[in-house]
Amino acid sequence: MNQLKITARDAETGPVLEIAGALAYPHATELTDLLPTVSLRPGGRLVLDLARMEFCDSSGISALIAARNLAHAAGADVALAAVPAHTQRVLHVVGLDQIFPLYPDSDAATRP
């Protein structure tokens, strides 16, 4: 399993965080530590691009929820893009597919 790598970029709708590797204990805190440094604006959208995410455990799910909470506190939206099938199943089982908008890719998620 690869270590976690997070790459940030800007889109018209707001920041995009590309997550690669394992969003899992003990590295999921890298995402939660990065979140307060991300510039969010009211009405914007934080996109978490999971296309290259290989694994996500409960720590990773908690980090995704932290991202949602931070975005909402800033008056912004959050979206998950290119969610791997194994993570989609987990999101569905725990009901998080009902609170996270899911997009097929980051291009779709960053359309205004």
* b/e 82-95 (16+ beta carbons within 10 angstroms → b): bbeeebeebbeeee
Residue 47 maps to which CATH number? 3.30.750.24
Contact (CB, 8 A) for 55 and 23: yes
The token duo for 11 is 């889109």
Identify the pLDDT of residue 66: 98
pLDDT tier at 1 (50, 70, 90 boundaries)? low
C-alpha span between 17 and 40 (Å, rounded):
12
- Let me know if residue 112 belongs to a domain: no
Of 37, 17, 8, the closest CA to residue 109 belongs to: 17
Contact (CB, 8 A) for 54 and 24: no
Which range of residues forms the domain containing residue 42? 5-107
Residue 16 bridge partners (DSSP): 9, 47
- Let me know if residue 101 belongs to a domain: yes
Identify the pLDDT of residue 111: 94
Say how many domains are in the chain.
1
Identify the pLDDT of residue 112: 87
- Let me know if residue 89 belongs to a domain: yes
pLDDT tier at 2 (50, 70, 90 boundaries)? confident
- What is the per-residue pLDDT across 49-87, written as a single tens digit (0 to 9) for each? 999 999 999 999 999 999 999 999 999 999 999 999 999
C-alpha span between 55 and 32 (Å, rounded):
17
pTM of the model: 0.95
- What is the per-residue pLDDT across 3-36, written as a single tens digit (0 to 9) for each? 999 999 999 999 999 999 999 999 999 999 999 9
- Let me know if residue 37 belongs to a domain: yes
